[in-house]
Structure 1
Amino acid sequence: MHHQTRSDASSPSRRTLLKQAATASLLTVPALEALAQFRVEVTGVGMKQIPFSIAPFSGNEGLSQDVAAIIQADLERSGEFRFVPPVAGGFDETSRPDMVPWRERSTDALVVGSVKRLADGRFDITARLWDVVRGVNLGGMGFTVDERGLRIGAHRTSDFVYEKLTGVKGVFSTRIAYVAKNGRNYQLRIADADGENSASIFNSNQSIISPAWAPDGRNVAYVSFEARKPVIRTQNIGAQTRRLLASFRGSNSAPAWSPDGNSVVATLSLSGNSQLYSIPAGGGSPRRLSQSSDIDTEPAFSGDGSSIYFVSNRGGSAQIYRMGANGGAAQRITFGGNYNVSPTISPDGKYMAFISRVSGGDRLHLMDLASGNVTALTNTSDDESPSFAPNGRLIMYATRVQGREALMTTTLDGRIRTQLARASGDIFEPAWGPFTSRV
Structure 2
Amino acid sequence: MKTVNAMRWALGLALATLTLAARADVTIEITGAGARQMPVAIANFAGEEGLKESMSAIVRADLERSGRFKLVDPGTAALPESAALNLNDWKGRGADSVAVASVSDGGATVRLRLYDTVAQKQLGGWELRNRGDIRRTAHQLADQIYEALTGERGVFSTRIAYVVKQGKRYELQVADADGANAQTPVASNEPIMSPSWAPDGQRIAYVSFERKKPIIFVQNIATGARRAVAAFKGSNSAPTWSPDGRQLALTLTLDGISQLYILDANGGEPRRLTRSNAIDTEPAWSPDGQSIAFTSDRGGSPQIYRIPISGGEPQRLTFEGSYNVSPRFSPDGRSLAYIRREGGRFGVAVLDLETRQSMVLTDSGFDESPTFAPNGKTILYATEIGRRGVLATVSVDGRIKQRLSSSGNVREPAWGPFTSAAPAAPLPVR
Pairwise same-fold verdict (TM > 0.5): yes
Aligned-pair CA distance for 1:21: 9.0
Q: Give the 3 Å change call, closer, same or farther, for CA 134–64 of structure 1 in structure 2.
A: same
**Alpha-carbon deviations, 1:358-379, whole Å to 9, x = none?**
2222111111121121111111
Structure 1 vs Structure 2: percent identity of aligned residues?
A: 49
Instruction: Tell me the residue number matched to 2:114.
Output: 129
Say which is worse superposed, 207-216 or 133-142, in terms of deviation: 133-142
* 1:212-361 correspondence runs (5 A): 212-361=196-345
Equivalent pair of 1:91/1:97 in contact (CA under 8 Å): no
Please give the residue correspondences for 1:12-411 in structure 2 after superposition, counting only pairs within 5 Å.
18-19=7-8, 30-32=19-21, 34-86=22-74, 89-116=77-104, 118=105, 123-147=108-132, 149-411=133-395
Task: Give the Cα separation in 1 of the matches to 2:381 and 2:146.
Answer: 22
Q: What is the one-letter code of the residue matched to 2:80?
A: D
String of CA shifts for 1:99-137, please: whole Å, max 9, x gaps.
Answer: 112212332211111222x2xx56322211111111111
What amino acid is the match of 1:134?
A
* 8 Å contact from structure 2 (residues 304, 316) kept in 1: yes
1:437 aligns with 2:420: yes
1:27 is displaced (CA, Å) by 11
Deviation string, structure 1 residues 37-63 (Cα, Å, up to 9, x no partner): 221111213123322111111222242
Conserved 8 A contact 2:164-2:409 = yes
Residue 327 of structure 1 aligns to a residue whose secondary structure is coil
Q: With the length of structure 2 as denominator, give the TM-score of the two structures.
A: 0.93
Deviates further, 177-186 or 229-238: 177-186
> TM-score, normalised on structure 1?
0.91
| Amino acid paired to 2:419 | T
* Distance (whole Å) between structure 2 residues aligned to residue 87 and residue 70 of structure 1: 16
Residue aligning to 1:11: none
Amino acid corresponding to residue 128 of structure 2 in structure 1: F
Equivalent residue letter for 1:157: L
The corresponding residue for 2:410 is 427
SS at match of 1:342: strand
Question: Do the aligned partners of 1:4 and 1:26 also contact (CA within 8 Å) in 2?
Answer: no
Is contact 1:19–1:25 with CA below 8 Å preserved after alignment?
A: yes
Distance 2:33 2:140 in 1: 25
Q: Name the counterpart of 2:425.
A: none
Please say which of residues 284-293 and 89-98 is displaced more in the overlay. Answer: 89-98
Pairwise CA distance, 1:20? 6.0
Q: Secondary structure at the match of 2:233?
A: coil
Answer yes or no: is the 8 Å Cα contact 1:405–1:423 preserved in 2: no
Structure 2 unpaired stretches of 5+:
423-430
Cα 1:20–1:282 shift into 2, 3 Å = closer
Q: What is the CA-CA distance between 1:28 and the residue it aligns to?
A: 5.7
Aligned length: 421
Worse-matched range after superposition: 80-89 or 312-321: 80-89
Question: Contact 1:274 / 1:295 at 8 angstroms: preserved in 2?
Answer: yes
Aligned residue type for 2:117: V
| Alignment correspondent of 2:427 | none
Distance 1:371 1:21, change over 3 A: closer
Q: Which moved more, 1:378-387 or 1:429-438?
A: 429-438
> Alpha-carbon deviation of 1:25?
8.6
Gaps of 5+ in 1: 6-14
CA distance in 2, matches of 1:109, 1:344: 36
The alignment partner of 1:158 has SS state of helix
SS of aligned partner of 2:62: helix
Task: Judge conservation of contact 2:44–2:76 (CA < 8 Å) in 1.
Answer: no
SS in 2 for 1:100: helix
2:16–2:191 CA contact under 8 A, matched in 1: no
- Counterpart AA for 1:435: F
- Give the superposition deviation at 1:270: 0.8
2:10/2:281 contact within 8 Å kept: no
| SS in structure 1 at match of 2:249 | strand
Contact 2:10 2:326 in 1 (8 A): no
